[in-house]
């Protein structure tokens, strides 16, 4: 027998919804590394920060690698058996992270956590989609909940690390996974979702090539600054390995009867423009590194205060989700919703550009973080909806892994690495420019240390302002692109204005009325004839 639900028939519907929400709240924020916790991992393990940045990227890569085969895995196993085993494995991986001191173990466990997490997530998508009905409204509710939980998890990872140590949060996550595994073993039904399908159709070699392509790329983005980019043999070799792996992956797809990836959807107009917009979303999301440098390096915030900035995004995230539900319920065209998201990101960049000073108060963060939260959530919902709109299920699943990696890893990782390189170069230039004002008449040996610190802080601010300035200039171009893009509507509608100016709109409306009247008459006449 088959059952497309998750839980046994005797479980009440409100309890089923509660269990789904509980599962989302625990599994979705789960990762190999929590970004607010990286400084404690570095001090606790003695490893470089770049290893944990690499592990952070690995979680997304694992999710992308699982996406093309997730439906086949869903149909192969019974729901209860699969969910229980996955939760136990996620708990074990979190426990391993909480007890190890080797940074490379974090990288590999993060990759597997992402892979397994996507298998759990797909089980929750279908019941929620059936309950909500509208795909756009589902995105609005789902992304709002997930983004809020990610901010909360990042904050409490820091809080637990301060009061106890960085290992305790991983242990707590492991215990929660084990408890959920026990609960779902009790409440879930022991049936298949649909017809049982074999696993031998999965091309594991393609999965290995996919993982190696983006893991080598993540190594380049993470260690590029530390190893001086192309002057490093390791960076050069990793770049070549990523390119060769991707080339082999593409060639292999054209030789398989059942390819792991499909490149068919990338010919569609909405997918191309969606990927283009996701790239510029990555440009704005990559500013998190600049924000952290300013908050910690210049303003001197501790890790808890800095992590609290992510909590300030939650009101904006909730507002974006509320607007999205209203927008999709009324079936309003997406253009202005996407425009509002990029405008909010532009507002965040403008405020940061004009407000980055040594006297920046904590209250000054409220508005920019609100705008950033609104922009991030609204663009995650709207651009993702537009990119995957009107795609067949098979084609979408066969390519969504690449789109996911593009959105969350490649775009953000590329701009984060670019900003770190520019920040270093601009900082060196700023120190040279500011050194003009240092001489024996203005700086004495007694005040040298204090003046050098102020000089360095001002150099960091100058470099950050320059980068934000370039982001703002690019952002105006993005807004112009959004306002002129058709978003699936008919092009060249400006011809209507020509008709109005020519005085022909009245004639056009009269012809439409006459045509409608003739059709009504024909229909009325046809009735008695039949």
CB 210 within 8 A of CB 261: yes
Q: Where are the domains of the chain?
A: 1-194, 204-257, 260-487, 498-523
Contact 290, 309 (CB under 8 A): no
> How many residues does this entry show for the chain?
530
pLDDT for residue 370? 93
Residue 438's pLDDT is what?
65
- pLDDT of amino acid 523: 32
Say if residues 415 and 282 touch (Cβ distance below 8 Å).
Answer: yes
| Torsion 119-123-125-126 (CA) sign | positive
Distance, C-alpha 90 to centroid of its chain: 21
* Residue 453: alpha-carbon gap to chain centroid: 36
Q: Supply the CATH classification number for the domain 1-194.
A: 1.20.1250.20
pTM of the predicted structure, to 2 decimals: 0.81
The pLDDT score that the predictor gives to residue 530 is: 33
Cα–Cα distance, 91 to 104 (Å, whole number): 19
Q: Do domains 1-194 and 260-487 have the same CATH topology?
A: yes
Which numeric CATH code is attached to 260-487? 1.20.1250.20
| Short-list 6, 296, 319, 11, CA closest to 143 | 319
Q: What pLDDT is stored for residue 193 in this prediction?
A: 67
User: What pLDDT digit, counting tens, does each position of 149-177 carry?
Assistant: 888 888 888 888 888 888 888 888 899 98
Percent of the chain with pLDDT strictly greater than 70: 84
Distance between CA 177 and CA 180 in Å, rounded? 5
Q: How confident is the model at residue 519, as a pLDDT?
A: 39
24/124 Cα distance (integer angstroms): 8
Q: What pLDDT does 446 receive?
A: 60
CA distance linking residue 95 with residue 43, whole number of Å: 19
Instruction: Kindly state the helix (H) or strand (E) to which residue 174 belongs, with its residue range.
Output: helix 166-187
pLDDT given for residue 498 in this prediction: 41
Provide the 3-class DSSP secondary structure of residue 450. Answer: helix
What parts of the chain have a pLDDT lower than 50?
490-502, 517-530
461, 358 in Cβ contact below 8 A?
A: yes
CA distance 253 to 357: 52
What's phi and psi for 188, nearest 5 deg? -80, 150
């Amino acid at each position: 027998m088959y059952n497309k639900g998750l839980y046994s028939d005797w479980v009440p519907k409100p309890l089923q919804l509660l269990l789904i929400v509980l599962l989302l709240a625990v599994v979705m924020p789960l990762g190999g590394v929590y970004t607010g916790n990286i400084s404690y991992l570095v001090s606790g393990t003695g490893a470089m920060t770049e290893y944990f940045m690499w592990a952070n990227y690995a979680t997304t890569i694992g999710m992308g690698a699982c996406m093309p085969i997730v439906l086949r895995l869903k149909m192969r196993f019974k729901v209860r058996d699969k969910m229980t085993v996955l939760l136990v494995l996620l708990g074990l991986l979190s426990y391993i992270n909480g007890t190890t001191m080797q940074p490379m173990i974090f990288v590999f466990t993060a990759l597997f956590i992402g892979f397994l997490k996507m298998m759990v997530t797909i089980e929750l998508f279908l019941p929620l989609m059936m309950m909500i009905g509208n795909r756009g409204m589902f995105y609005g509710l789902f992304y709002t909940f997930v983004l809020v939980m990610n901010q909360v998890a990042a904050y409490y990872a820091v809080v637990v690390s301060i009061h106890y140590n960085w290992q305790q949060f991983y242990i707590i996550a492991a215990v929660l996974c084990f408890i959920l595994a026990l609960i779902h073993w009790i409440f879930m039904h022991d049936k298949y979702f649909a017809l049982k399908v074999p696993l031998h159709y999965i091309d594991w070699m393609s999965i290995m090539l996919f993982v190696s392509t983006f893991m080598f790329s993540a190594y380049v983005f993470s260690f590029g600054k530390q190893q001086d980019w192309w002057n490093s043999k390791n960076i050069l070799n990793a770049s070549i390995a990523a390119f060769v792996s991707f080339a082999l992956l593409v060639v292999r797809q054209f030789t398989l009867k059942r390819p792991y990836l499909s490149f068919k959807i990338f010919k569609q107009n909405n997918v191309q423009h969606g990927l283009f917009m996701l790239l510029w979303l990555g440009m704005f999301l990559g500013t998190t590194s600049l924000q952290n440098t300013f908050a910690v390096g210049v303003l001197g915030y501790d890790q808890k205060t800095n992590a609290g900035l992510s909590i300030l995004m939650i009101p904006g995230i909730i507002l974006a989700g509320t607007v999205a539900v209203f927008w999709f319920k009324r079936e309003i065209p997406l253009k202005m919703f996407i425009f509002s998201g990029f405008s909010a990101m532009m507002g965040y960049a403008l405020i940061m550009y004009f407000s980055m000073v040594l006297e920046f108060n904590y209250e000054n963060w409220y508005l920019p973080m609100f705008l950033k939260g609104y922009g991030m959530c609204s663009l995650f919902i709207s651009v993702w909806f537009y990119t995957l709109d009107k795609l067949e299920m098979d084609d979408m699943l066969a390519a969504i892994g690449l789109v996911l990696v593009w959105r969350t890893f490649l775009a953000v990782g590329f701009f984060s690495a670019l900003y770190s390189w520019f920040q270093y170069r601009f900082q060196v230039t700023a120190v040279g420019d500011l050194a003009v004002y240092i001489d024996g008449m203005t700086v004495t040996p007694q005040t040298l240390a204090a003046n050098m610190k102020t000089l360095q802080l001002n150099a960091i601010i100058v470099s950050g302002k320059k980068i934000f300035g370039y982001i703002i200039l690019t952002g105006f171009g993005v807004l112009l692109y959004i306002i002129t893009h058709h978003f699936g509507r008919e092009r060249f509608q400006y011809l209507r204005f020509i008709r109005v100016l020519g005085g022909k709109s009245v004639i056009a409306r009269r012809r439409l009325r006459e045509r409608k009247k003739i059709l009504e008459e024909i229909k009325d006449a046809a009735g008695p004839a039949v």
